Every structure is written in structure tokens, then in C-alpha cells.
Chains A and B, each alone.
Chain A
Amino acid sequence: MTVAVDLKNVWKRFGDFIAVKDVTISILDGEFFSLLGPSGCGKTTTLRMIAGFDLPTQGEIFLHGKPVGQLPPFKRDVNTVFQRYALFPHLTIAQNVAFGLEMKKVAKPEIEERVRKALEMVKLGNKGNNRPAQLSGGQMQRVALARAIVNRPEVLLLDEPLGALDLNLRKEMQFELKRLQRELGLTFIYVTHDQEEALVMSDRIGVMSDGLLLQVGTPAEIYNQPNCRFVADFIGETNFVNCHVSSVDAASKMAHVKVAGQFDVHAGSADDVVAGKDAFLAIRPEKISIHLTAGSVPESHDNVFDAKIVEDIFIGTDTRYVVELAGNVRLAIREQNMSALDATDPYDVGTPVKVSWDSDSARILMS
């Protein structure tokens, strides 16, 4: 597969503030790539540098192998969908969508045809003569999308395009965006702070924090094998327990750690884990299971510990427990309520239980 966008050691400084620190990514042709992170993490600046609104202080950006880092936006074959739509209020919807084609001096009849098709694609075929102010937020976002894709850009950049929409509309638009991306086979670079949105839509996710690109991977990789505490914490819910690394097996990427000086845990390890150092054991609440007796623990679960239920909260789809292990180690656990009978769960507060997980479901992280 060819690389659509290549960022090589890109830095961006605004005065004393460093917005993007040494980011290197290769985004593939036809890929739905998300940049995920909290506000101020540098994801929007990275996108703006690909679009050309900000120029990198250092490093180079390649579009299909061609260096474009210092080119103005109108000389790059990328198009952007803005968070606040940025539709031209003095033009009609059709004129808005035609803008890019007019700039490229496409022949009039072809412009009309392509505008019509683009508006139909976003289900706004009958709104061509309206003004942006007459449309709803969701419709304006669809116009912004049509205005970008009508140019058939090499890469489509989307800057939190669903941020201004309400929840239901957002879910609907997520699927529509994904559908469009598959149909057109376009490369999408999608900036969001919403981890669920990134997980649902992306082929790959790059997690950013404080200007740094922390990890790039498929949604499953990011979720199941985070390489640092920030990634594990930002995406989903995670228990973090202080531990001390006893030994690391580099070949299988597994490690043995001692928790609270009391018990040994076997878990997958991030690349930078070193024996003899303090680290974190990270484990997701839904990966731990609770049993009344040791006999009902599945064979695959190689970590089994005694615990006591200290909290028990029913939240509809699941029940959330907090258990306490030896050495005052507390873990949150989610158990799905598979049957209505689960409402009368056997794990009352104070019940002594066994908790267990398989070693692949837990991670040892250095930072």
C-alpha cells in the first residue's frame, strides 16, 4: 500500500510554546486515520500543518512523496472539513460546493454535474439554492463535507467535524462518514477528542498528548496494548496499581511484577519495561472476573487472587464492583448482566471471593 501523507520529525513552535514535538507518522492511502487527544494536545495543529494553515517550524510533510511542508494551502491537494463548518454565508449551498471547482477552472457543465452529485451523496439534493443560514447544524456539516469531497482531494482532513452536533446526530453522522469514506476510497485524517468516536470509525488511531505522538495503532491495539499510562487512561477505564518489576521476558513481551510487596502478577509488558524498576499494572475492569470458589475460575486465567467485595453498584447493562485484595489493593470490576437473574447477584458487600484474569489482558507500563 502506498503512503498518502508522511510526517517526518515535524515540530511546531508558537513563540515559547511548543505545540507539536517531533511527530513522525505515515498515513496510508485509503486509510481512516484519527488523531486523538485532549484539547491542546497538538492534534489540531498537526492537521493544520497538513492543510497548510500553519507551517512546520522543523521537519517535512510529504503528500504522496512530494514535499509540501512550506506550501500555502491553495497549492496542496487536500481539503478540510472545519469544526464550525465555515460555509460562505453570502453564497448558496450549490455555490459553496462549486467554489473549489471554480478555483480549479473546471468547465461549467461539469461543475454543475459534480455539485449535483456531491449534494445527492450527502442527501441534500434539494437544498442547492438555500443559504447556509437556512440549514440545521447537521445539514451544514453535510454541505461542508460535500464542498470538500467534490474536489476529489488526495486526502480529506476533518477537524472535529461532529463536535458542534448533538449526540444522536453525531452517532448518525459517524456511520455516514464511515460509509462515504469506504465508498470513495479516500484517505481521511480525522481529529477528535472523543475516544469512542475514534474507536468506532478509525482504521488506525494516533494518540497525542502535550504535543507528543504517544502511540499509533488499530483501535484494538490502542485499547488492549496501550504503551503508556496516558493512553490506557484516556481510552476507556483502567485500574492502575503500583508494582515492582521482577523479571521481563523480551521475546514474549511478558513480565512478572510484585504488587504491594505481597503477590506476584504475570502480565504483558510495554516495550520500555525494565526489570528492577517501579511500574504500573494496568487492567481494565471488564477483563477481571469474580468467582465464589476457586473451582469456577476458567483455566486460561493464570492470575487468581483472594479478595473481598467492598462496593456493588447496579448500572443497567453491567454491575460495577470494587474489590479489595491483600495489601489494600483495590480494583474496579465490571460484570455484564447477561440475564435478569443477575439482578439478584450473589456478591454482596463483604463477601469473600476469588478474582482472576488472564495474563494477556493486563499490561505493565513504565510511565
Chain B
Amino acid sequence: MLERVQSQSDRTMIEIRDVTRSYGSFKALDNASLAIREGEFFSLLGPSGCGKTTLLRMIAGFDAPTSGSIAVDGQPMDGIPANRRPTNMVFQSYAIFPHLNVEQNVAYGLKRLKLDAGEERRRVEEALVQVSLTGLGKRRATELSGGQRQRVALARALVMRPKVLLLDEPLSALDKKLREQMQVELRRLQQAVGITFVLVTHDQYEALAMSDRIAVMFGGRIAQVASPKEIYQRPVNRQVADFLGGMNFVKAEIVEENGASLVLDTLGFGRVRTDKPKAFVRNGGAATLGIRPERLRVLWDNATAKFEVAGKVVERHYFGEITHLIVEIPGLEKPLSVTETNDFGADDIPVGAPIRLAYDPEALVAMAD
């Protein structure tokens, strides 16, 4: 497996320390701490109302923490207004100035810097090239498509050469195809310019596809900060696991616990030894074991595997390139959901047929109950 190219350094670019934001008795953000590295593509992921946008707006300076502090590039940001912060933002609605054309929109922030005309033109041109909008400079903002507006918003922020680029759900207004294309482009752009990107999103695939690291947030708290792979494969709790796509949860009993590993007893999967998650806090003797639907593999005919479970297909859902099977396993209170690609005919497995599933014990993840 290819590892991600690590473009970021280990220097901290944004330091968020014990930040709380309360509105009356409601805490939009509850004692959040986070360190975002220089040159990193960092995502704040969570459902709406989890505090991710509040956090982003506090980094930008549109909101202030009730307590705690935020520093950007080593500079404390307390009391520094949004217009004097080394951050720029791409707004969810793009906020393109309707009375200006594309060039004027992009040049908006440069005017204050009083560059000479040639330099200003050059930087605007460069930014337009970066977002593939060359030749559209004279277009009025009202004559642009959604994707183009998004590019203008990007260019307008990038042209300022910020230390941090903040993106507030920038792709949510685009259709699926364009969104996927922009994910790739955004990632490429971030690697080209090397600026720290902080993305707010509620779309787990977007976060997984683009980020170096992700912070998953629920109810104003940061649940887990890790690389996309780790977040997906080693979620710290059921909430994170559930948010990051489908996950089968199996009741388990803790047999043995030591520093690095756990031994769990389950019905169906038997006795399992797994890595102990970093944030594992034992709550009595019960735990949950999780396995992603695509990590369960259908065993055809007489094929065997070292680790397998047997059951019966109770439902089948066809999704084009994949088929979703719901498989009842004796002893498990909830049936397992299995995702199988259709190249071997999983879409033809009859409902009610007996089935055997292979799994890799590495794919089993223990979660505190």
C-alpha cells in the first residue's frame, strides 16, 4: 500500500488550547484542544451542530472563545480582529462580491496592500491559473456556475498568500460529480502551494479523500484526531465508527487487558486478540468489537480461510458495482452487513442461501462500550 506523501513539517501552525465557546448554557465547543501542523490538510469532520464551524470561525476571528486560546504560527490571536489575521477563508456560500467581476473579486484583498499595478495583475493572474479560471477574469460574478464561483472564492483567498486557508464546507453546494473532481483538485492545489488547509465538512468521504489528518467532532467535543486510515480503521468509539461509514458492531466480553492489547470473547468471532485503542477506557467487563462490511469476504464453493464465520443470507441489496448482503450468524443478536464487489457474482447469491464469510482478525477493532 502506498503511503501518503507527507508534505507537512512537524511545526505547529495552529494551536488550539482548551477552547470553549458557550451561548448561554449551551456549549457549542467544549474544551477543545488541537494542534494543526504547518502545510497540513486538516479536516474538522462531524454532524451539523458539532461545533466544527464554530471552531473554524474562531480561527478566522469571526467568533471569540469564551475561554481558552488560539494561536496561529506562534502568535496568540486573542483580540486580533479577523482582518488582521494571517488566515483567509472560503465561505460555504462562496460570498463572491456580486458588484465586482472575477478579477476584481480576486484582487479585492490586494488593494489594501497597495502593490504596483503590474505586481497586482501578476498575482491575480497567477491565482486564476492556480484554480484554472484563466480567461474568465472579466466575467461578472453573477454569470458564473457553482463550480466557477467556488474557484473564484479559492483564488481570492489564495492570492493573499495566507498562512492558513480555512474552508467552510466548500464543496457542499456542488453536485456529486463536480464535488469529486474538486476534491482531487483541492488536494492537488494544497500540495502545490503548501499552505495549511483547514476544511470543515460533514461528508466523511470528503474528509477521508483529502485530509492528512482528521478531527472527528461530536456535540462540541473532539472525539478523535488521526490520519484518515486510522480514523476509518481504528475508530475510538462507536459514534466515530458509525459516522465514518458502515460498521458491524458485535458484543464482546473482555477476557484480558494489558498495555497494548485486549483479548475479547465474542459469539460468532470466538476469542479475539486486538490492539488496544489509545483512548480505551474500560467500562465494566463489556466492550464492542467492530468490523467494516467490506472487510468481510464471501467464501465461494469449497474455498476456506483461516478465520471464517458461517450464516445465512437474509437480505440482498444491489448497488451497481457492489452488493450489500445482510447475513444472519447464529449467536449474533444483529445480522452482519457485508459489502461485496460484483465481479464474482455476489449479486446472484439467493436470499436464504447458506454462506461463509472470511475475515482478517486485523480488521477487528475493539471499542469501549
Q: Do A and B bind each other?
A: no
- Enumerate chain A interface residues (CB-CB to B < 8 A): none
- Enumerate chain B interface residues (CB-CB to A < 8 A): none
